[in-house]
């Protein structure tokens, strides 16, 4: 298993994959505090019950977490949104 490196500097992007090939964005040990907060918000929304509106909310939160990961990993899609 990969060690969690000290990449949490503003001038260094998080690697997209761990040494074993798994995406870092799906490993909670690599999440930023923003990604952790969104994950917690998703769990709170899911705890409210089941409805189409709540499912939509969870899906939107998931997209938000992915966009944060895009930024942290400095993918082109994240850079383009800043132009």
pLDDT of residue 8: 57
Q: Give per-10-residue mean pLDDT for the chain (83 aa).
A: 51 83 89 94 98 98 95 69 48
Q: What are phi and psi of 23, to 5 degrees?
A: -70, 135
pLDDT of residue 58: 98
pTM over 0.95: no
Q: What is the DSSP string of 27-64?
A: -GGG--HHHHHHHHHHHHHHTT---HHHHHHHHHHHHH
């Amino acid at each position: 298993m990969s060690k969690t490196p000290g990449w949490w500097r503003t001038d260094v992007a998080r690697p997209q994959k761990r040494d074993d090939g798994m995406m870092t964005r799906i490993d909670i040990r690599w999440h930023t505090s923003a990604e952790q907060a969104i994950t917690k918000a998703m769990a709170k929304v899911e705890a409210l019950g089941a409805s189409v509106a709540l499912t939509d909310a969870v899906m939107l939160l998931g997209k938000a977490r992915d966009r944060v990961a895009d930024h942290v990993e400095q993918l082109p899609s994240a850079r383009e949104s800043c132009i």
